[in-house]
Amino acid sequence: MHQKSKRWGAAVALIAAGGLLAGCASSGSSGDVTYWSAFVSKDTERYYQEHYVDAFNEQSDDTKVKMEVKQLQNLGSLTDTAVSAGRGADVVYSAGPSSALGFASAKRIDALDDYAAEYGWADKLQPWAYQASQVDGTLYSVPVEYGSIVMYYNPGVFEEHGWTVPTTLAEFEKVATEAQAAGMMPVGAGNSGYQAQSEWYLSAFLNMAVGPEKLYQALTGEAKFTDPEFVDAISLFQQQIDKKWWGGGKDRWFTNTDTDLFTGLADGTVAMYITGTWSFGDAGRYFGEAAGNDAEWDWAPLPSLSDDVAPGVYPMAIGTSLSVNSASKQADAAAEYIDFVIDDPARSYDYLAATGQNPPPLSDIASMPDTVDERSARLYTEAPESGNLGYASWTFFPAATDTYLWSEFDKIITGDLTPQAYLEGLQKVFDGELAAGKVITPFEPVPGA
Amino acid sequence: MTSATARIGAGPAVRRPRRRRRLVAWLFIAPLAIVNLLVIGGPGLSSLLFSFTDWDGLGQANFVGIDNYVELFQSPNVLAAIWHNLLWTLFFLIVPISMALLGAFLLSRLRRGQVLFRTLYFIPYVLATIVSATVWRQILSPDAGIGAALANLGFDGLAGVNFLGDPSLALGSVAFVNNWQWWGFLLVLFLAAMQGVNPALYEAARLDGANAWREFWHITLPGIRPTLMFLVLMTVIWSFLVFDYVYILTQGGPAGSSDVLATVLYRTAFSEQRAGYASAMAMLLSSISAVVVAGYLILRKKLDWDV
């Protein structure tokens, strides 16, 4: 009997010890935190490793981050496959809140509200980005890179032709008409090599011509993409493409690459180029000494192409969001690392200065150092301050709607689809995704901003 | 009676080695069969099941019956892609096979330099697809490609021709590039098969006064029929699976003009995140291959081909 109770005691102790160990493991108080990432260049990777991984590991006693570098092209699909199988890194990458929503719906990533409260993320992040990262009021991802779409131009070329940066439809049409008369491509556009590139221009056009308020209504189901404002906008875009203002029209759209268009901007054959601010980092290689010319680039906020839209709209885009894998045994440590990535504005802005990489949408924009390129610093201070924020399709449109947007737009360019039919198809796909809960709640626009 | 007794008496002794041989054969087959079952059978079965769901690749898969298949056959993009696959198949059944047959027949009559030409024609096949596709993209560029180069020399017939950016030319241009890589491989296979044809048949034909065409038609073609039929079969299957050149050169554009089933499937699965619907497309692709193979087997049986 005595012997038997001893055995029972040992068994209970073992179970208790096991439980304690399991508790330690799930609390993630120690051990390696894995993180998959990808970079545009080796230099950027080295900088990140030194300032975001090694620096974290040096200051942390318990937690060590182990970064695995993947290819930029397949980081998303690798993560999707691994996370859907209940595996993958502890810190989960996603290409913005729409991608994170898929993980959240599948319960593959953890709710972050407790961590958000612990680390004060609502205060650290700009309100629109924090709001966009929530699913039904619960935070599931933390945005760590953001940008916008702006109009790039060559100040020397504008000066030569006596143009001022357009802010209204009339001014935009004047510059486009004169540029075309001068033998230039008025607005750079094209999708050779990357079919989805069309959505950069489409996102810009919808924000310029329809405006954030109407887009917000459509994204929340209050309005339809088939409403006259959208039909008019796509019709106007189609007319401008037919006039060969954008990308030289259908004969050139499918041939132009991003490189061609920046080269054209530098050599004066392209007047304006409307694209993402992710090019701030490498636009320099087409201009000035590095490119063997004396050209310069600058940017301006997007013009308004409708009386109902205030000029200077910034379509907001979140390029990278981080979440905590629900299969992680190091959840607390993973959250600690995510906080490290956004915790220090100086570190984020130094990264921007050194590599041109988009910073997190931090609410602290005052501590932007002088080392940041003036054009980048202007963007990351003016955009949040302006309040005139719009919606980039790849961040706020659900996956199938977004794919329809750019893939079917080819048929608008070739004239195989009418704007009405195109938008009816868009609305149909969107309705399905809205009903299936695949649309993130967009931030509310500032009326008349 | 004696022989019958002997046969009866020898039965178990004969059966034992036969059984052993069968066992050994199964043992040889088993590793590959197990790997195929795991790598092809498992995912194949799960694809079949997912094709009846609305699975997005991450979350819960809800049963939707045959909705995906109904949508598949009502989708203009899918139907256009199937049509492009059929055109692609027709092109690859005619152009590279004809070129390779003719090339191999001519090379087979060469006494010197055969190895050199065989190597030259085979080189494109060993190049990485991404390399040859990227080079061809430059060659076909209206700004920096062959059209612009010829225009500089005064021949402006191809000037401004946008091979990959013109919806009416894109599919044909991609097929042309793929054929550039492909036909040399077929040539080498046909040449190897032709070298297996009995030379005495050619000598006899020549004695009977047959010309080169008659030799080709009556001796070469029947002599390489197993190889020819196998490559025709594989061409049909590969033509429906084509993806790499299309994706690298045009991604199915412009406006879907070079979309094939595999590019639509890829976009559906990874951009639209509709893994269930993409699974239905995969089932369609597999079914087409299965029909082709079944048709081939039936023909083989009916015509009593020894291939």
Do B11 and B146 fall into the same domain? no
- Residue of B166, B254, B273 with shortest CB distance to A400: B273
Query: What is the CATH topology of the domain spanning A148-313+389-435?
Result: D-Maltodextrin-Binding Protein; domain 2 (3.40.190)
Q: Which domain holds residue B34?
A: 1-50
Q: Residue B83 falls within a domain, yes or no?
A: yes
Name the pLDDT band for B109 (thresholds 50, 70, 90): confident
At residue A314, the 3 state secondary structure works out as strand
* Residue B137 scores a pLDDT above 60: yes
Do B90 and B231 fall into the same domain? yes
A55: contact with B, CB 8 A cutoff: no
Tell me which chain B residue has its CA closest to the CA of residue A104: B59
Do B42 and B81 fall into the same domain? no
In chain A, residues with a C-beta closer than 8 Å to the C-beta of B136 are: none
- Give the residue from A293, A282, A251, A302 showing the smallest Cα distance to A157: A293
- Give the residue from A205, A165, A157 showing the smallest Cα distance to A183: A157
- Whether residue B175 contacts residue B88, with contact meaning beta carbons closer than 8 Å, is answered with yes
CA distance A105 to A323: 13
Tell me which chain B residue has its CA closest to the CA of residue A80: B58
pLDDT in tens, B48-79: 999 999 999 888 899 999 999 999 999 999 99
* Residue B245 scores a pLDDT above 90: yes
In chain A, residues with a C-beta closer than 8 Å to the C-beta of B60 are: 106
CA distance B26 to A151: 68
CA distance A48 to A372: 17
Q: Which ranges of chain B would DSSP assign to H, the alpha helix? A: 2-36, 42-50, 67-74, 76-108, 114-126, 129-139, 146-152, 170-194, 199-207, 212-215, 221-223, 225-241, 244-249, 261-266, 275-303
Q: Do B142 and A410 touch (CB under 8 A)?
A: no
CATH code where residue B281 lies: 1.10.3720.10
Per the structure block, which two tokens stand in for A85? Answer: 């199988």
pLDDT for the residue numbered B295: 87
Q: Where are the domains of chain A?
A: 11-140+319-384, 148-313+389-435
> How close, in Å, is residue A87 to chain B by CA atoms?
12
Do B33 and B106 fall into the same domain? no
Q: Do B253 and A410 touch (CB under 8 A)?
A: yes
Q: Residue B271 falls within a domain, yes or no?
A: yes
Cβ atoms within 10 Å, residue A247: 28
* Residue B306 scores a pLDDT above 50: yes
pLDDT for the residue numbered B16: 73
Q: Do A195 and B252 touch (CB under 8 A)?
A: yes
Q: Residue B64 falls within a domain, yes or no?
A: no
| ipTM of the complex as predicted | 0.83
Q: Please, what is the Cα angle at A384 between A380 and A389, to 5 degrees?
A: 115
Do B129 and B8 fall into the same domain? no
CA distance A112 to A323: 8
pLDDT for the residue numbered A448: 62
Test the A interface: residue of B50, B53, B56, B174 with most A CBs within 10 Å: B56
pLDDT for the residue numbered A63: 87
Do B108 and B4 fall into the same domain? no
Do B171 and B286 fall into the same domain? yes
Q: Could you tell me which residues come within 8 angstroms of residue B27 by beta carbon, excluding any fewer than 6 positions away? A: none
End-to-end CA distance of chain B: 41
- Residue of B143, B255, B267 with shortest CB distance to A416: B255
Do B29 and B145 fall into the same domain? no
pLDDT for the residue numbered A19: 38
Test the B interface: residue of A99, A254, A325 with most B CBs within 10 Å: A254
Q: Residue B66 falls within a domain, yes or no?
A: no
Do B106 and B216 fall into the same domain? yes
Backbone φ and ψ for A125, nearest 5 degrees, come out as: -105, 150
In chain B, residues with a C-beta closer than 8 Å to the C-beta of A255 are: 141-143, 162, 164-165
In chain A, residues with a C-beta closer than 8 Å to the C-beta of B142 are: 255
Domain count, chain B: 2
A62: contact with B, CB 8 A cutoff: no
Q: Which of A6-10, A445-449, B91-95, B269-273 has the highest mean pLDDT?
A: B91-95
Cα of A125 vs its chain's centroid, Å: 15
In chain A, residues with a C-beta closer than 8 Å to the C-beta of B169 are: none
Q: Do B267 and A400 touch (CB under 8 A)?
A: no
Q: Residue B55 falls within a domain, yes or no?
A: no
Query: What is the CATH topology of the domain spanning A11-140+319-384?
Result: D-Maltodextrin-Binding Protein; domain 2 (3.40.190)
Q: Could you tell me which residues come within 8 angstroms of residue B178 by beta carbon, excluding any fewer than 6 positions away? A: B92, B242, B245
Q: Could you tell me which residues come within 8 angstroms of residue A249 by beta carbon, excluding any fewer than 6 positions away? A: A241, A242, A243
B170-194 vs B225-241: helix crossing angle, rounded to 10? 160
* Residue B163 scores a pLDDT above 60: yes
Q: Do A255 and B142 touch (CB under 8 A)?
A: yes
Do B87 and B41 fall into the same domain? no
**Amino acid in the structure at residue B286:** S
CA distance A441 to B177: 46
Residue A146: in which H helix or E strand, if any?
strand A142-153
pLDDT for the residue numbered A370: 92
**What are the contacts of B112-119 at 24+ separation with CB within 8 A?**
B114/B191, B118/B187, B118/B188, B118/B191
Please give chain A's pLDDT, 449 residues, in tens.
344 444 444 444 444 444 333 333 333 345 799 999 999 899 999 999 999 999 999 998 888 999 999 998 889 889 988 998 889 999 999 999 998 998 998 899 999 999 999 999 999 999 999 999 999 899 999 999 999 999 999 999 999 999 999 999 999 999 999 999 999 999 999 999 789 999 999 999 999 999 999 999 999 999 999 999 999 999 999 999 999 999 999 999 999 999 999 999 999 999 999 999 999 988 989 999 888 999 999 999 999 999 999 999 999 999 999 999 999 999 999 999 999 999 999 999 999 999 989 999 999 999 899 999 999 999 999 999 999 999 999 999 999 999 999 999 999 999 999 999 999 999 999 999 999 989 999 999 977 65
Q: Do B255 and A411 touch (CB under 8 A)?
A: yes
